[in-house]
Chain A
Amino acid sequence: MTTVTKEAMTAKAATQNACKLCNPLGACLAFRGIEKCVPFLHGSQGCATYIRRYLISHYKEPIDIASSNFNEETAVFGGSHNLKLGLKNVTQQYAPEVIGIATTCLSETIGDDVPMILKEYKALMGSAAPLPVMIFASTPSYSGTHIDGFHAAVRSAVMTLAEEGPKRNLLNIFPGMISPADIRYLKEVLNAFGIPFVLLPDYSKTLDGGPWAEYHRIPPGGTPTSAIASTGSASASIEFGSTLEAGKSAAGYLEEKFGVPRHHLPLPIGIKASDRFFATLEKLTGKPMPEIYEDERRRLVDAYADGHKYVFGRRAILYGEEDLVISMAAFLSEIGVLPVLCASGGKSGLMKKRLLELVPDLEELGIKVKEGLDFVDIEREADELQPDLLIGNSKGFAMSKRHELPLIRIGFPIHDRFGGQRLHHLGYRGTQELFDRIVNTVIEQRQNSSPIGYTYM
């Protein structure tokens, strides 16, 4: 898909209230999930500062992002000097094991050859002291969205560090951009299956950690470089993200380069998608699903029965990252909520195709799937579609207020509510939490609008 298609769709030149963020943000987030890594943006100071501020408002954790701090000279003569100086300074002050370098629109537009600069830097520094590992992701903000930056950083981490070796009993899991609580859940599941695994990126602690006695220049936690190195000898990879293509993904690289089979799954939201995930784990480990997850599933099926009447026939507008929207739409379809519009600011060109695989009757149901939308487009659709619910990140609040529609906050960013980093979305547990929240939203609305004021709903 190109811009032309988008404009034909929306007939707008400008983007108004974007339903997406820029490429480097995703890279910074992913780099935060590597142990002892400092994210470093090659561009102007503002990029790093804005992205820090944006991430902080969701995660409520200090997030240091270094910048090569372009000035006019840098923009004219190239960013080589600033990048090298910046790397030296970050190394001195943060003593990182890894520096995750991502470009910005500025450094990409002036055509800085970052890999070449890094090579020069390494040569310049000689072998006096061991240098941090440098992972580089190209993330020009004029193409793609934050999700592309996220995947580019993960893929680049693996390309930089993964080593070939005899296959061993090890599972890679690349879950994509999920909440710290979801990461912890996945780790718990994999531990319960008893299989050694590498989860990348793991920001469950770095972006949702405990109090500090002293300032940590780099917060504790994250996937260790040694673990990333071992991904090349894993027996399989699981990768979430319906629209994530092998050519852009970490698991895709490992499959191509080291023959590690890639098991590509949608984000496991809802019973069917979670079943698929657990079935994959059963197949890969040769073990049955641990009893505690059987129980979680049973409770979820029971809850579906208990709550089905509240939600059946409700109409929802879903928006956010394409992969999240696709999996959420499939989940809503299995509880009788109609996702009348599935919208994203992303433009993979794959959204409808992938959703059709999960909800084959989407055309008959009248579900609209639209890429490249902004919130003004979504609001126009809302006028026409008359939904009962909005489901997505905090950026839909203005629309929800204007239309007096309840907003169920999921994903990122959630900066007008507390605890976004601790929300579950994945597996039976995450689905349970989402289902409870949706049912309660409907109940609350009914209770509030009832003149009688039932205390039993």
Chain B
Amino acid sequence: MDTQNITLLEGREKQVYEKKPGGAEIDIACDTTSLSGSVSQRACVFCGSRVVLYPVADAIHIVHGPIGCAAYTWDIRGAVSSGPELHRLSFSTDLQEMDVIYGGEKKLYRSLIELIDQYQPNAAFIYSTCIIGVIGDDIDAVCKKVAKEKGIPVMPVHSEGFKGTKKDGYKAACSALMKLIGTGSTEGISKYSINILGEFNLAGEAWIIREYYEKMGIEVVATMTGDGRIDAIRRSHGASLNVVQCSGSMTSLAKDMEEKYGIPYIRVSYFGFEDMSKSLYDVAALFPDRPEIMEKAKEIVRDEIRKYYPEMQKFKTALTGKKAAIYVGGAFKTFSLIKALRTIGMSVVLAGSQTGNKDDYRRLKEMCDEGTVIVDDSNPVELSKFVLEKEADLLIGGVKERPIAFKLGVGFCDHNHERKIPLAGFVGMYNFAKEVYESVMSPVWQFAPRKGGLS
């Protein structure tokens, strides 16, 4: 088979690891930029900033540059809002050749004034794209000027695509948020309060999580950034705890808030029964002076699991022994998915992420079974090779991975920004199991070449 001949690119060997008995220690060379000419599944700095800030729904998001970056991120995520929906619009300064030659500051200024007048947002985020870093527009100055004139925060986001990786984009987004935090009043915020960080309200997931915490008697000050509101972000320094999901994107913000405002943070995940329960218990444990919070957490876990358990057993019976490959953005999600898949009887044969760090990969190795392949910043050729070699029945990834799975006759679950069904929370675990079941067990795969069908 052709896959036998696939060689790893020179310079990629260190980003692929197979767990074997007596094998070498894991030392994945992650945190590097992608190799030129490799078809990386990663995006760029701009993408990192854009995904983090995108769900802030009462701000306008203006992409400063030629049209592409704004066009490709228009209404791209399933991040929903309970009120304003400015985030679903796409604004671009749409720079033309003359703007590139003479500079785009004036056009940015005019665009900002015009859009703020038209949409009356509570803030504006201005994203620099690649060429802004080259033509040298002083977007900070323009933002400052407009903020003064219009009386709303106008935040520059330094997200020039080439200036690092997606992670640097996260940082740029977090530093824009950091400038907002602390500018609102914290009056009336309960001692038993948290911020939910790294939850983007895809398909309404933040609402599900928020409801659990509120049932426990905890006040949620801000979710960053799912169903996000500028005023909530501005007063989020009044919360007692930051609860961080999606470690890659938001840990830096949590650290900054800890340093500046003394707010401790914990890392959680809302995927799978195990991690979801833990994320409620972990928060409750930090408010020991009010034991009813823990009592309530236990009650929620008990009720929710009881609700979904019978159906889950049905899925488990069908899926036991099936194999999954995981390739998602952040490594932290991979941990949860491994556990969630075990809940429904599935093993993991490939686990990888776009942006994991060394600690993540060490932990991943500990969690995985023998024979599992671990990859960092992989590409379609590699992913396919391992999916076929390891005879995976399911691939979990994003839109870019979906056609790879389907071409090869493998089931697929979208666990990325574009999902439309909530996968977080207890109900999310049920939805996840159902989606996996429906894809893996579909009769259509009987025609796939790997099952003996014609290619």
The chain A residues found within 8 Å of chain B, CB to CB, are 3, 12-18, 20-25, 40, 43-54, 56-57, 60-72, 74-75, 82-83, 85-90, 92-93, 104-106, 109-110, 140-143, 145, 210-217, 395, 398
Q: A17 vs B110: C-alpha distance in the bound complex, in angstroms?
A: 17
Q: Is B133 an interface residue (CB 8 A)?
A: yes
15 interchain pairs, CB-CB under 8 A: A14-B110, A45-B40, A50-B69, A57-B399, A67-B36, A68-B36, A68-B37, A69-B34, A71-B162, A71-B163, A75-B134, A93-B9, A105-B129, A142-B95, A215-B408
Interchain CB contact under 8 A, B72 and A54: yes
Q: Is B111 an interface residue (CB 8 A)?
A: yes
Interchain CB contact under 8 A, A60 and B114: no
In the complex, the chain B residue whose C-beta lies closest to that of A91 is: B37
Residues of B within 8 A of A212 (CB): 407-408, 449, 455
Interchain CB contact under 8 A, B455 and A213: yes
Interchain CB contact under 8 A, A142 and B100: yes
Task: Other than A50-B72, A105-B95, give 14 A-B pairs with Cβ distance below 8 A.
Answer: A12-B114, A14-B114, A18-B94, A21-B68, A22-B68, A51-B72, A53-B400, A60-B403, A67-B39, A71-B164, A72-B162, A89-B36, A105-B66, A215-B381
Q: Is B107 an interface residue (CB 8 A)?
A: yes
Query: Which of B2, B43, B164, B403 is in CB contact (< 8 Å) with A49?
Result: B43
A-contact 0/1 string along B1-35, CB 8 Å cutoff: 11100110110000000000000000000000111
Interchain CB contact under 8 A, B453 and A211: yes
Interchain CB contact under 8 A, A62 and B404: yes
The chain B residues found within 8 Å of chain A, CB to CB, are 1-3, 6-7, 9-10, 33-47, 62, 65-75, 88-100, 107, 110-111, 114-115, 129-131, 133-135, 161-164, 379-381, 384-385, 388, 399-400, 402-404, 406-409, 447-450, 453, 455
Q: A143 vs B400: C-alpha distance in the bound complex, in angstroms?
A: 27
Query: Which of A15, A17, A49 is in CB contact (< 8 Å) with B400?
Result: A49
Interchain CB contact under 8 A, B72 and A53: yes
Interchain CB contact under 8 A, B36 and A106: no
In the complex, the chain B residue whose C-beta lies closest to that of A16 is: B91
Residues of B within 8 A of A92 (CB): 7, 9-10
Residues of B within 8 A of A20 (CB): 67, 71
Residues of B within 8 A of A110 (CB): 134
Q: A74 vs B130: C-alpha distance in the bound complex, in angstroms?
A: 12
Q: A45 vs B377: C-alpha distance in the bound complex, in angstroms?
A: 12
Nearest-CB distance from B42 to chain A (Å)? 6
Interchain CB contact under 8 A, A69 and B72: no
Given contacts A68-B36, A142-B131, A214-B3, contact A89 B9 (CB under 8 A): yes
Q: A215 vs B455: C-alpha distance in the bound complex, in angstroms?
A: 12
Nearest-CB distance from B204 to chain A (Å)? 19
Interchain CB contact under 8 A, A69 and B89: no
Q: A68 vs B40: C-alpha distance in the bound complex, in angstroms?
A: 11
Given contacts A14-B92, A213-B450, contact A89 B2 (CB under 8 A): no
Which of A40, A85, A93 is packed against the most chain B CB atoms within 10 Å? A93
Interchain CB contact under 8 A, B70 and A49: no
Interchain CB contact under 8 A, B409 and A211: yes
Nearest-CB distance from B10 to chain A (Å)? 7
Residues of A within 8 A of B66 (CB): 22, 105, 140-142
Residues of A within 8 A of B381 (CB): 64, 93, 215, 217
In the complex, the chain B residue whose C-beta lies closest to that of A143 is: B97
Interchain CB contact under 8 A, A62 and B403: yes
In the complex, the chain A residue whose C-beta lies closest to that of B405 is: A62
Interchain CB contact under 8 A, A49 and B407: no
Nearest-CB distance from A106 to chain B (Å)? 4
In the complex, the chain B residue whose C-beta lies closest to that of A39 is: B39
Residues of B within 8 A of A15 (CB): 67, 70, 91-94
Q: A239 vs B115: C-alpha distance in the bound complex, in angstroms?
A: 41
Interchain CB contact under 8 A, A22 and B71: yes
Nearest-CB distance from B63 to chain A (Å)? 10
Residues of A within 8 A of B114 (CB): 12-14
Query: Which of A25, A211, A398 is in CB contact (< 8 Å) with B449?
Result: A211
Q: A64 vs B70: C-alpha distance in the bound complex, in angstroms?
A: 22
Interchain CB contact under 8 A, A18 and B92: yes
Interchain CB contact under 8 A, B36 and A86: yes
In the complex, the chain B residue whose C-beta lies closest to that of A52 is: B400
Q: A23 vs B72: C-alpha distance in the bound complex, in angstroms?
A: 12
Nearest-CB distance from A365 to chain B (Å)? 31
Nearest-CB distance from A457 to chain B (Å)? 33
Residues of B within 8 A of A71 (CB): 33, 162-164
Nearest-CB distance from A357 to chain B (Å)? 28
Interchain CB contact under 8 A, A85 and B455: no
In the complex, the chain A residue whose C-beta lies closest to that of B134 is: A109
Interchain CB contact under 8 A, A67 and B40: yes
Query: Which of B65, B115, B407 is in CB contact (< 8 Å) with A105?
Result: B65
Interchain CB contact under 8 A, B90 and A46: no
Residues of A within 8 A of B407 (CB): 61-62, 211-212, 215
Query: Which of B33, B37, B100, B110 is in CB contact (< 8 Å) with A109?
Result: B100
Q: A256 vs B68: C-alpha distance in the bound complex, in angstroms?
A: 33
Query: Which of B72, B162, B384 is in CB contact (< 8 Å) with A75?
Result: B162
Residues of B within 8 A of A61 (CB): 403, 407
Interchain CB contact under 8 A, A56 and B402: yes
In the complex, the chain B residue whose C-beta lies closest to that of A212 is: B407
Nearest-CB distance from B339 to chain A (Å)? 28
Residues of A within 8 A of B131 (CB): 105-106, 109, 142
Q: A25 vs B67: C-alpha distance in the bound complex, in angstroms?
A: 11
Residues of B within 8 A of A56 (CB): 399-400, 402-403
Interchain CB contact under 8 A, B99 and A214: no
Q: A90 vs B6: C-alpha distance in the bound complex, in angstroms?
A: 13
Interchain CB contact under 8 A, A215 and B39: no
Q: A74 vs B161: C-alpha distance in the bound complex, in angstroms?
A: 12
Nearest-CB distance from B368 to chain A (Å)? 23
Residues of A within 8 A of B67 (CB): 15, 18, 20-22, 141, 145
In the complex, the chain B residue whose C-beta lies closest to that of A57 is: B399
Interchain CB contact under 8 A, B130 and A44: yes
Given contacts A56-B402, A68-B36, A92-B9, contact A46 B43 (CB under 8 A): yes
In the complex, the chain A residue whose C-beta lies closest to that of B406 is: A60
In the complex, the chain A residue whose C-beta lies closest to that of B165 is: A45
Q: A214 vs B68: C-alpha distance in the bound complex, in angstroms?
A: 33
Q: A393 vs B71: C-alpha distance in the bound complex, in angstroms?
A: 14
In the complex, the chain B residue whose C-beta lies closest to that of A14 is: B111
Residues of B within 8 A of A216 (CB): 2
In the complex, the chain B residue whose C-beta lies closest to that of A345 is: B67
Q: A143 vs B97: C-alpha distance in the bound complex, in angstroms?
A: 6
Interchain CB contact under 8 A, B99 and A142: yes
